Amino acid sequence: MSHSATPLHLLPKGARATIVDIASHSHFGELDAQVTLRLKELGFLPGAVLQVIGFGLFGADPVAVRINGTKFGLRRSEAAKILTTLQPA
């Protein structure tokens, strides 16, 4: 994993970033592996490029992203599992 990896929920609106890893997150407890798997099934895989398209009203939560041409809404805690490197604009 790169040192400059930024979790998805900290990316600014409009940012394009490459996924470097799907990390584990204590929030999901024993379900964490399932959540990781589902994220991967939906296309959140290392190497995939995503774009942040918007945020919810409070505290940037949830966050909307586009990946492989499909848009998804994710909560902060799910987004925090997705580690990315920002692409130059």
Binding footprint of other proteins on the chain (CB under 8 A) = 27-32, 34-35, 37-43, 45-46, 53-59, 61-62, 64, 66, 68-75, 77-78
Nearest distance from C-beta of residue 3 to other proteins, angstroms: 23
The Cα 31–Cα 48 span in angstroms is: 23
Closer Cβ to other proteins, 17 or 35, answer by number:
35
Nearest distance from C-beta of residue 13 to other proteins, angstroms: 10
Q: Which residues contact 25 (CB under 8 A, 6 or more apart)?
A: 32, 35, 77, 80, 81
Closer Cβ to other proteins, 7 or 46, answer by number:
46
Nearest distance from C-beta of residue 23 to other proteins, angstroms: 14
